[in-house]
Amino acid sequence: MHTSQMDIAEALNDFYVNVGPSLSRNLDDPANNYDKPKIDDIFKLNQVDDFEIKQIINSLSNISLSPNGISNTFLNEHIDIVTPILTK
């Protein structure tokens, strides 16, 4: 048990000096991460064209709303305006 101020100060110093090395021992070695997929390999957006977007809009039911509250009827009625925007 630490009773003197010097012992307490040394114990605190030892604790804080060793926090980083103690935590790093629990981490994976970055050199071993070569076999893990990179974010670029996991998430990709494929390029689409106006034709594909128009096909998707035309296939939507006219009674439902998109998640952002825009009606599918609106999309169909304004397909020539919204298609280039959605394609981009």
pLDDT tens figures, 2-37: 678 888 888 889 888 988 888 888 777 666 666 666
Domain count, the chain: 2
Q: Over 70: is that where the pLDDT of 38 sits?
A: no
Output the six-digit token pair for 85.
């925007």
β-bridge partners, 65: 71
The total of other beta-carbon atoms located within 10 Å of residue 53's CB is 19
Same-domain check for residues 35 and 57:
no
37-43-44 Cα angle (round to 5): 120
The region, left, alpha or beta by phi > 0 then psi within -120 to 50, assigned to residue 69 is left
Same-domain check for residues 9 and 38:
yes
pLDDT tens digits along 61-70: 777 666 778 8
Same-domain check for residues 17 and 35:
yes
The pLDDT assigned to 52 comes to 94
| Domain that includes residue 71, residue range | 50-87
pTM for the full predicted model: 0.46
- Mean pLDDT, residues 61-82 taken together: 82
Q: Over 90: is that where the pLDDT of 72 sits?
A: no
Same-domain check for residues 55 and 38:
no
Same-domain check for residues 38 and 54:
no
What is the distance between the alpha carbons of residues 16 and 84, in angstroms, rounded to a whole number? Answer: 58
Same-domain check for residues 35 and 55:
no
